[in-house]
Amino acid sequence: MNGAHFLVAFVFLALAASFAFASDPSPLQDFCVAINDTKDGVFVNGKLCKDPKLATAKDFFFSGLDIARNTSNPLGSVVTPANVAQIPGLNTLGISLARVDYAPDGGLNPPHTHPRATEILTVLEGTLYVGFVTSNPGNRLITKVLNPGDVFVFPVGLVHFQFNVGKTKAVAIAALSSQNPGVITIGNAVFGSTPPIRSDVLAKAFQVDKNIVDHLQKQFWYDNN
């Protein structure tokens, strides 16, 4: 095959590949307000959608992220989400928010992941020790102490946490790159699943005595979301 024929064949294959893998990651209309009632649903794009002509300001509105939450719980933290469950108009738009309140001197948003979103956290009040762990095989811990006005990014899917190291309450706002980022709290998932993971499986995975696993599985695993 001479050079000209090779070049033509290469361009053809490149174009074919681009068509094969082409996708449209953007919404196919201005908005797609999520609904549960199928009576007025006319579009499907992530969820069944309300007829755009019936959309109102209420579909795009949420109030309450200015309200401090009660952090009197085992973790000393509360997450107030503002995602598609609270704001139907977020459907297909790929973004959401959350307010996180931390109790003074030890309030913890425990190690967890968001399977569908990167998170960017802005501290409004207090001092937080935050961090995430990189994937195998490195498992590097990357941490930072944040003060009001500081911003930190948690890459999608990685285990991360926030811990209040200050003597006063802390407040942060998190923006996430999904209408429904999801959350998997590590302790809850591993030791508080329903039905429980077999204790001999966890004992071998964590290289601890089975009695330790049994003890952990009997604990009450609080969910701060």
**pLDDT at res. 66:** 96
Annotated binding-site members for Mn(2+): 112, 114, 119, 160
The answer on pLDDT for 89 being more than 50 is yes
Annotated binding-site members for oxalate: 109, 114, 119
The β-bridge partners of 121 are 152, 174
For 65, left (φ over 0), alpha (ψ -120 to 50), or beta? alpha
pLDDT-derived band at 159, boundaries 50, 70, 90: very high
What's the gap between Cα 26 and its chain centre?
20
Task: Give 95's contacts (C-beta < 8 A, 6+ positions apart).
Answer: 175, 176, 177, 178, 179
The β-bridge partners of 50 are 41
Following DSSP, what letter does each residue of 9-46 receive, concatenated?
Answer: HHHHHHHHHHHHT----S-SSS---B-S-GGGEEEESS
Annotated binding-site members: 109, 112, 114, 119, 160
What domains are defined for the chain?
A: 24-182 (2.60.120.10), 184-224 (no CATH)
In this prediction the pTM is 0.83
Q: Element (H or E) spanning 211, and its range?
A: helix 210-217
List pLDDT tens digits, range 117-154. Answer: 999 999 999 999 999 999 999 999 999 999 999 999 99
CB atoms within 10 A of CB 170: 28
From residue 2, give the alpha-carbon distance in Å to each of 13, 83, 164.
17, 57, 67
Q: What share of the chain is helix, strand, coil (3-state, %, to 5)?
A: 25, 30, 50
**pLDDT at res. 222:** 81
- Give the residue among 24, 49, 52, 25 at the shortest CA–CA distance from 38: 49
Mean pLDDT for all residues in the chain? 87
Mapping DSSP to helix (H, G, I), strand (E, B) and coil, where does residue 154 land?
Answer: strand
Residue owning tokens 């006319």: 42
